[in-house]
Each structure stands twice: as structure tokens, then as C-alpha cells.
Chain A
Amino acid sequence: MTPLLSLRHVSKTFGSGPRAVHAVREVSFDVAQGECLAVVGESGSGKTTLANMILGVFGQSSGEIWFDGKGLPIRRTLEHRSAIQLVQQNPLSSLNPKRSVGASIRLGLDVFGIGARSDRWRLVEDALEEVGLPGNFRRRPPAALSGGQCQRVAIARALACQSRLVILDEPTSALDVLVQARVLRLLEDLRRVKGLSYVFITHDLSVVRNVADRVAVFRAGRLVECAETRAIFENPQVDYTRQLIGAVPVVADDELKLRESLSGGVPE
């Protein structure tokens, strides 16, 4: 089966000459239909640059990105743009504060021409209900919603566009642990029901362990390790992965044991 998304030797360089920044270097990986691939790494490792290239915010410097068996052009068609959607870290700043949340969701429907014009408010309400919010929330501004509710709206907005691949850029880092648990559960359920694929960007490895099928570990723009989630946690091949797992704050004793068995230690 062809993977939904594949990257082949993708690089991105900002600037040129001696001061050029090589944000992403020679990265290749696939994301299958319905799969959740976690992209982990510290700040500055190129995770977000990667997301921006997949989304088409800017083009790659070299290499190819394939979507659904076809090469993705740097200038995306409407179809590509609606199929690949983004959920950002901070929902309060990713939603327009002057628009009702319903208008924010509807904007995508209008731009991509989804559904009949007269039918679109109903689609917006359906999308809200799908993420566990009452349909009449569409009239509210983001400021009248809690952080967790806003993140649900951001998810609804991504889904309403009939997306097939959702890039989740630290979707729960700004949320409390109880709210995080609910949003993660929602994302899992939606993936199963709708057969979505996720690229889940995060630095929280305990979240990764529980939601991802495979993990891609980034460091300084390079893909240093890519494997099944279980393999990454039980038998990491690279020291850096061990360090990342070693840095996760844990609550249970068996987690402590696992962490100590890897004994990467905190990097100096």
C-alpha cells in the first residue's frame, strides 16, 4: 500500500553562505494511512520547520514530498491544503480573538468550498459536536472558552475541512494534565473513527508512548532514529533517544525502573 505521506531526502536551509542555517537535513520517512507518527526532539531540532514544509508554508530546499502517491508541488492546490491541516500548540493564539469560533471553523469551509453554502453552519455545528462541544458554542468568541475547549475548536476546524493528514504541533503542551488526558483521548477516537493520519510533534515522551505507532527522533535537523514506539522505548539505539527518555519526569515506580535501566542520564 502506498503511504499517505512520504518524504525523500528533504532538506531545508535558511540563508546562504557561511551563516546559512541547515534546519532540516536529508530527512526521509513515511506516514501510512491511519498511522500516528510522533516527531520528537528538543527545541531547535527542526520539528516545526518540517511541519511547515509538509503544510506548504514554505518549500523544501531539496528533496521530495509525496502525498497519496503524487508529488506535492511547492505551490499547493486547494485540495492539498484542505487535506493537510494543522493544530497548533497554543489554541488561544491560533484562533482569531475577534471572530466567533464558529466563524473560524467556517472560514475553511468557505475557502475550500465544502458543502452547500446554506448548509455550512450545520457542518460547523456538527464539527463542534464531533469534538464534544455543544453546537451553539459556535457563536462564542475564543476568550469565552477554556484552554481545553479552544483546543477542541482547533481540532474541529482541522477536521471540518475533510482533512486526511493532521499535523499536531504540541497540541497538549499548553494544557493541564487532566485536560490533556481528555484531548488525547479525543484525538485517538477521531483517528480511529475517521481513519486520519497524524504527525504528532511533541517533546513529551510519555504522551508519545501512549498515542504513537512509530516515533521519529530528531536532533539538529537530522532524523537520528525512527522505529516502532515499543522498540524506541524498550531498546533505543541512539544515546540521544536514551537521554530524551531519561529526562521525562515520572510518577510511578515501574517508570523509574525503566528510565534507570536506560540510564542515559541528564545531558550536561
Chain B
Amino acid sequence: MNQATRLLSTYTADVSGVCSALYELGGLTVMHDASGCNSTYNTHDEPRWYDRPSMVYISALKEIDAIMGADDKLIGDIVAAARQLQPRFIAIAGSPIPMLIGTDFTAVALEIENQCGIPTLGLATNGMHEYLSGISMAFTALARRFCRPAQPASGSGRPLVNILGATPLDFSVTGNIEALHEAFRQRGYEINSCWAMNSDLDQLANAGAAQVNAVISSAGLALAQWLQEQYGTPYLVGVPWGRLGAAAYFDALRQALHDGSSACFYSGLSGQGSGKQGLIIGEAVTAASLKAALLLQGGWSRIQTACPFRDYASLLGPDDIALEDEKQIRQLMEEADVIIADPIYRRFFKNGKQRQFVDWPHEAYSGRIYRRQIPVCIEEHLDLWQKGWLKEK
């Protein structure tokens, strides 16, 4: 995206992605920053504080520590806290100033681990990349450190699946992850682990036991590739949004399980026939999966997915696009009949008789502001949501 933004919001950054990814796993996560990252994460990016506490902290970096390169203070503070709190692991994530002064997170992590004996991950985020890269970095570091050799499959005989890329930043806490788990169970799968909501560290460590991996956001892709390399586990990219979308998704999952080959379930789908022109703005995998679900229903001449993250454009379909700037967003919105996007994008929407803006709030973008409106879209839930906006029109 262009660096100057006149009207829109900003997606949350890598350091929040790290914290969100690790929140439920019993670790001690430290943002190495003065204070802003902590406030942003706690206020806008993390909806779980009230229901389950976690050990997420800020290092409270000061001017003098930055100038003097006082890594010993950072290390000492983390070791002191870890001795009191006894976390399962420690993770340290960086922000702009540690990047500027060249903080060596790998060395800091090693020193902490040497001092307190707790596995420690050094994650060189810098607050200048989007949240997906932080989640991805945290998941792969965790897997490299904790995943053990594959254990024999459970006795249930049902295929085991790992869900990769689940955080409230993309799926909120409004019921999508629970509905997703239920959809897998209904289709005869057993959830081996979910990275990382509603699973603990021990379940994640046994990820190698799964027969297939379900990549539900861009943030899960690097982990899927690592698990494939380590255990030969195939993966499928996509989310089973909508009834027809879910049917296609689970067909593709069966195929992946059968062939042992990895795929993206929505990659072959494109617009057919006549109908409305749609635009979906969002994270590549969730948005492209929604596009697939809607195209399968029919009534669309074309739907284009627009992804604000150029690093993940490879997960888009051939008609889709990585966004560059506000001008381009405005132009794309003017061309579409139906726009499905976070409500903040409404600022560019011009009302028209045949045109409609459908609110699809994205926690990584608008934070908690529209959380109550975040719909559950798994399987038939999508139809219910759609009925709402069709009625609205």
C-alpha cells in the first residue's frame, strides 16, 4: 500500500500478530517497546483479556536503554518475571526502535534461556510489517522448537487435522472457530490441534500426528509448508464458508488426504454467467474463500478479491489483486455492484440504486469497533448472514 493514507485505517502489525498467535499457550510474551505496542494490542487487537488472562507484557524500553543498548536490562527483567511466573516458554518480539539499534533477538533469547532454563523464542518483528507475518513467524518458531516426532494416530480411526492460522485478528471471537471445528467433526475429522485458538501447547506439539493440515489464513501457510517438509503432511488452503463452499472445500480436503498433495480449494473457481459484479476486500485466504462460496451460489458475473497485503498475493486467484493505494480502492469500489469489506472502507462508498456495501468487519483492521457485527460464515451460517444483507438491500 502507498505510505500516505488520507482516509482509511491501518492493519495491525507483526508484533500484535505474535502476541495474538501465542496468547492461549501458557507462554510469557514480551513486546520490546516503550509502551505504544502494548496499549494498541491490549485495547484494539486482543478480545480475550476479560475471559482468560495471559502473560503478555511490554519491556517498557526507555531512551537511555536504547542509546546504551542495555540488553542486560531486558534480559534481567524477563528472567525475573519468568522465575516468578514459570511460563511454558518465553517469546520476545521487536518494534521499530529495537530494529533501529540492531537488537539481536536470537542472542537475547539464548541468553534468557541459559539463565532461566525456559525455552525462549527471539522474534525479530519491527512493527513495520502486517500482522500476518508476525503470526506466521511465531507459529513456525514454535513448531521448530516444540513439535516432536509424529506420534501414532489416535484410536478413533478418524483422520486427524491441524487447523493452521486461527487468531481473533482474522476470525474474532464471535463463533467462527467453534463452527469451523464443528464442521470438521461433522465431516468425520478429528481436530488434532488448532494454531492457535482452543488448543494448548501439548496439542500443538503433536501436530506431526495429523494426516492433513487446513490453512485457514495466510498466516498458516509457512507453518503448513514446514509441517509438510517435516512430516510429509499435505495441506489445503481455504475456509469452508457457506454451504456450497463447504461442500467444495471438503471434497478438496478428501482429495488432499487421498493424494497427499497440497492445494488451494478456491484456485480453480471463477465467475460464470451474468449477474452482479462483486468486490471483496480482506485477507487473501478468508476473502478468496468467501468469493468462492458466493460464486458457487451463482448470480455473479464476476467477483474480485482485493488484498491489502502484497506479500500474500500468491494466495489470491487469477482475477484478484493486491491493493496499492486509496485511489485504487476508490476506483475498484466504483466499478462494483456489491462491496463486501470492513465498515471503515465505507468511507469510499458512493451510494447508488443498484449498489450495496456489505459490512464484513475484520478485527485486524477495525479492532473491536464493529466486533458485534462480525458474522459467523462457516457452512450454512453464511446463508443466514446473506439473508440479512439481501433483506437490507
The yes or no verdict on A and B being binding partners is no
Q: Which residues of B contact A (CB under 8 A)?
A: none
